[in-house]
A and B are shown apart, each in its own frame.
Chain A
């Protein structure tokens, strides 16, 4: 089954404790992206990657890191999480090396930073 898999689905943690949210897709998609969704602010792009070793900042990259060492994986790293990073996070992927194709979304990761 074609899918984008995020882990964990839910996480409650404390300020300053490094965490990684994994994202993996099995569709051989070139483009991958991370979003956060907050009430009243909608979906905002954090980082995107157009292919292996190619990443770029979206609208709200502060406090986040990403890497794209393999085509299928695109982890989101919070080096020193803070309460303002409490949010619902989505990973997505699409065919082709840009954002011109429809994106497939993972099921989301709900992060709470205390």
Chain B
């Protein structure tokens, strides 16, 4: 059974700080990685996605992949209270199924 693991949190950071979220995956052959944000009672929305060929930055968000250690990270710079949500890591399994971690709850205090 392929697995994706995340620390459930909560991860608490003050406004303006950097929030660092991590995710480990078991399938060494995985090549596509996604971060979704989910507010309570809402559907997941895509924040970032990266492929095995490199890291990615988009505004305040940076996604990084460490293939050797099989983990993916999401950095949120200048964290805002509106970033408070659950962050879901998802990993494509052989391009067919998609496996989600259980999510990390982020709380940004003003």
Q: State whether A105 and B44 are in contact (beta carbons under 8 Å apart), knowing that A42-B102, A43-B88 are contacts in the complex.
A: yes
Mark contacts of B76-110 with chain A using CB atoms, 8 A cut-off: 1 yes-contact digit, 0 otherwise.
00000000000010101101111111110000000
B95 — which chain A residues lie within 8 A by C-beta? Answer: 98-100
A74 at the interface (CB under 8 A from B): no
- Pick the contact of B43: A40, A102, A106 (CB < 8 A): A106
B98 adjacent to A103 (CB under 8 Å): yes
The range of chain B's interface size is 20 to 34
Closest to A38 in B: B102
* Residues in B38-63 with C-beta less than 8 Å from chain A: 42-46, 49, 51
Number of chain A residues whose Cβ lies closer than 8 Å to a Cβ of chain B: 25
Q: Smallest distance from the beta carbon of A95 to chain B beta carbons, Å?
A: 12
Closest to B51 in A: A100
A42 — which chain B residues lie within 8 A by C-beta? Answer: 88, 100-103
A99 adjacent to B92 (CB under 8 Å): yes
Q: Smallest distance from the beta carbon of B72 to chain A beta carbons, Å?
A: 14
Q: Smallest distance from the beta carbon of A5 to chain B beta carbons, Å?
A: 12
Complex Cα distance A105/B98, Å?
13
Mark contacts of A38-49 with chain B using CB atoms, 8 A cut-off: 1 yes-contact digit, 0 otherwise.
001111110010
Complex Cα distance A40/B101, Å?
11
Q: State whether A99 and B43 are in contact (beta carbons under 8 Å apart), knowing that A42-B88, A42-B103, A43-B88 are contacts in the complex.
A: no
Q: State whether A45 and B43 are in contact (beta carbons under 8 Å apart), knowing that A40-B102, A100-B92, A102-B34 are contacts in the complex.
A: no
Closest to A98 in B: B95
A33 — which chain B residues lie within 8 A by C-beta? Answer: 98
Task: Report A's interface with B, CB cutoff 8 A.
Answer: 33, 35, 40-45, 48, 50, 56, 58-59, 90, 98-108
27 contacts between A and B (CB under 8 A): A35-B100, A41-B102, A42-B103, A43-B44, A43-B88, A43-B90, A45-B99, A48-B96, A58-B97, A59-B1, A59-B97, A59-B99, A90-B43, A90-B44, A98-B92, A98-B95, A98-B96, A99-B93, A99-B95, A100-B31, A100-B95, A101-B32, A102-B46, A103-B46, A104-B46, A105-B45, A107-B42
